[in-house]
Structure 1
Amino acid sequence: MVSSIVPQTDLESFQAHLNQSTRILALLGAGLSASSGLPTFRGVGGMWRTHDATALATPQAFEANPGLVWQFYSYRRHMALKAKPNPAHYALAELARKKTDFITLSQNVDGLSPRAHHPPSQLKLLHGSLFDVKCSDFFCRYIARNIYTDPIVPALAIPTDESDPTTTSALARELDISDENVDLPEVDYSHLPQCPQCERGILRPGVVWFGEALPSSVMNDVDAYIEKNEKIDLIMVIGTSAKVYPAAGYVDTARSKGARVAIINMDPNDVPAAGLHKGDWFFQGDAAKIVPELLKSVIGDVNIEDMGDAAE
C-alpha cells in the first residue's frame, strides 16, 4: 500500500488542503514518464548513444540533415508509443475533471498525458509534443496534433530482416537490446513527411528545440491563469527538480500567491531552486503509485481499464 511509504500525517494534511483547494497547478517532468518505463531525453539508448541528443534537437540540425533528425524523433515516438500512461497520468486527468480551475504544466513531450484523456484546455505542453507536427516552411502555419501513426511515413519504418522474417533487423532489435553499433540508413528528403497545405515544406516534430522560444499561445494561457486571481492554493511538482526556468519561476510565483507546495520525486535532492519551506510536503517515491493515493480523497479510485488510451 502506498500509505505505508507515505507518512499518514502528511497524507492526511495534504488531502485536507487539497479538498478545500480550488486553484491548483501541477508541474510535470521526466520523472513522471520514467514511471511508465520511458527513458529521459538524454537517456535515449541504443544507436543514439553515439550521437549527441542535444545537437540533434536544434533547427540547425534539422536544416542540415532532416533525415537524421526525423529518424531520432521517429525512434522517440516509437518508444513513447510502446509506453503506456501510468496511474498518475490518469489520476491527474481525473482531478482536472473534478477541479475545473486546475491546470497542468507539462515539460514532457511524450504524449502520455493526452493519451490519458487529460482535458486539453487544462493541459499546457510547455515543450510541445512528439505527436504534433508542423510545417518547417517559414511562411506556412500548418500544424496537426495527436498524430499517433507509427511510423509517421513508410520511410521511417523499422525494417525487418528479409533473410529471416521471424526476427527483426538490427535497427528494430536495438529498440530492445540497445545495440549502439547500428548504421543508420539514409532517408531521402522526398520520403520525409510532406506538408499537405503548402506542398513546399516538410513537416517537423512539434517540439521546442534548443534555441527556440516556448510556444507563445501556451505561455499566454499560463500567464493569464496565474494573473487571473491573487490567490493560488496549491502547486504539485511531480518528477522534476523545477530548478530551470520557466519551471522554477512557476513554483516561486505560486508560492508568492499563497500556494503550498507538494513535491513528488524519487530523488530527495530534487527540490525547487528556492528549496523547501515550512508547510511544504515532500513525498519520496514512484509518482505512479503516490499521486493516485494523494488525490484519492477527491477523485476516488481510478480504473485505468475504464479510462482507455487515446492512442489505441
Structure 2
Amino acid sequence: MPRTDVNEFKQLINGSTRILALCGAGLSAASGLPTFRGAGGLWRNHEPTSLATPEAFAIDPGLVWLFYAWRRHMALKAKPNKAHYALAELAKKKEHFLCLSQNVDGLSPRASHPTRSLRLLHGNLFDLKCFNQCGYIEPNVLRDPLCPALAPAAEDYPPDQTMPLLDPTIPTPKIKLSDLPQCPNCKEEGKASPLRPGVVWFGENLPDGMLEEVDDWVEEGKIDVMLVIGTAAAVYPAAGYTQMAKARGAVVAVFNPDVSARAGLGGNDFFFQGDSAYFLPKVLEDIIGEVNVPE
C-alpha cells in the first residue's frame, strides 16, 4: 500500500530538485468544470469523445463547435482554484519543475503558471486553427460568444433551469458552415476553410516537438518526485510518463478522490485521496507559503 502521511511527503518534496507533474481534469474539478469521465459524463446524450475527432467535425462542424463553444463559456466563467495557484508557485520556487497538463481549459495559464515550466499536451480551447491545416493559428481568443451562430452556447440560466443547448429533447440549432469562424488565410486565397478549436483530437498527434522536448527533460537525470494530479493517466502518451519517471528514480504521489487511482503504486509511493485543491497547498506549504486566490 502507498503511504498517506502528509508530513512525510512534505519532507520528501521540500528536499527535491527535479519534480515532474502530470495533471488531468480533476485538477479543475474544484473550479466547477466537469471531467466527463465520471458518472453522467455525457453532453446531450453524446459521448464527448465522439465529438473530439476530425471526422466528427467534418460531418457536423456546427454540432462540434457548439460543444466546444459551451466548454469555452464554462471555462471562462470558472476561476483557477488553489491547486492551480499552488503549482504555479511551485514552478516559481523550483527551477527544475516541469508540469504536463492534459487540460485545455486555460486555467493554469490564468493562474500565472510560468510558461517555461508548463506544457499543454492537448492544446488550448482558446486557440483557433485552420481545419484544412494551412498553418494559420490565432492564439488565446477569449471573446464569448465566438460568433453569433454560437451564441446559444454562451447563455446563462438560473441553477434550477436547464440550458436549452444541454436539453437533448430540444434539437440543436442548425448552423451553416459559412456562419462559423473562417480561416482568413484560406479566404484570401479564395478557399473556404472553417477554424476549429486548437485542441488535440483523438487520432491526432501532439504539437510538433512537444513529446521530444518532454522526453529530453526526463532523460536529463534523476527525477525526485512525480505528482499525478486529478488523472488516472489512462491515455497515452500521458500514461507512459509515470513509468518513465519511476525508471528515473521518482517517488510517485497521486492526488485523486477515486481510490482506484492508487492502482500500481508501491510502498514507497504516496496516495492522497481527495480534492487536489485541498491537498496540494497543504503538502507544498513549506515551499510556497500560503496560497491566496484573487477575488
1:196 to partner: Cα distance = 2.5
Separation in 2, partners of 1:247, 1:160: 31
- Whichever residue aligns with residue 12 of structure 1, its letter is N
Q: 1:300 corresponds to which residue?
A: 289
Q: 1:256 corresponds to which residue?
A: 247
Q: 1:211 corresponds to which residue?
A: 203
Contact 2:145 2:154 in 1 (8 A): no
Deviates more, 1:82-91 or 1:263-272: 263-272
Contact 2:145 2:153 in 1 (8 A): no
Q: TM-score, normalised by structure 1?
A: 0.84
Separation in 2, partners of 1:122, 1:254: 17
Q: 1:82 corresponds to which residue?
A: 77
- 2:70 aligns to what SS in structure 1? helix
1:27-79 superposed Cα distances (whole Å, 9 cap, x missing partner)? 11111111211112356979933223222111111112111111111011111
Structure 1 vs Structure 2: percent identity of aligned residues? 56
Separation in 1, partners of 2:262, 2:128: 33
Separation in 1, partners of 2:42, 2:270: 40
Tell me which of 16, 27, 41 is aligned to 2:22. Answer: 27
1:254 to partner: Cα distance = 0.6
Tell me which of 144, 149, 155 is aligned to 1:150. Answer: 144
1:209 to partner: Cα distance = 1.0
Q: Aligned ranges for residues 280-295 of structure 1 at < 5 Å?
A: 280-295=269-284
Q: 1:4 corresponds to which residue?
A: none
Q: Aligned ranges for residues 46-85 of structure 1 at < 5 Å?
A: 48-85=43-80
Matched, 1:225 2:217: yes
Separation in 2, partners of 1:45, 1:75: 17
Contact 2:122 2:200 in 1 (8 A): yes
- 1:193 aligns to what SS in structure 2? coil
Q: 2:256 corresponds to which residue?
A: 265
Q: TM-score, normalised by structure 2?
A: 0.89
* Shift in CA distance, 42/196, structure 1 to aligned 2, threshold 3 Å: farther
Matched, 1:196 2:184: yes
Contact 2:73 2:153 in 1 (8 A): no
* Shift in CA distance, 117/67, structure 1 to aligned 2, threshold 3 Å: same
- 1:182 aligns to what SS in structure 2? coil
Separation in 2, partners of 1:107, 1:269: 20
- Could you tell me which runs of 5 or more consecutive residues in structure 2 were left unpaired when the two chains were aligned: none
Q: CA RMSD in A?
A: 2.6
* Shift in CA distance, 41/47, structure 1 to aligned 2, threshold 3 Å: closer
Separation in 2, partners of 1:30, 1:46: 12
- Whichever residue aligns with residue 196 of structure 1, its letter is P
Q: Aligned ranges for residues 109-148 of structure 1 at < 5 Å?
A: 109-138=104-133, 140-148=134-142
Separation in 1, partners of 2:153, 2:278: 37
Deviates more, 1:86-95 or 1:207-216: 207-216
Contact 1:232 1:254 in 2 (8 A): yes
1:152-182 superposed Cα distances (whole Å, 9 cap, x missing partner)? 1122112899xxxxx969xxx5349953322
- Whichever residue aligns with residue 173 of structure 2, its letter is P
Q: 2:35 corresponds to which residue?
A: 40
Contact 1:30 1:240 in 2 (8 A): yes
- Could you tell me which runs of 5 or more consecutive residues in structure 1 were left unpaired when the two chains were aligned: 1-6, 162-166
1:12 to partner: Cα distance = 1.8
Contact 1:268 1:284 in 2 (8 A): yes
1:198 to partner: Cα distance = 3.1
Q: 1:164 corresponds to which residue?
A: none
- Whichever residue aligns with residue 144 of structure 1, its letter is E
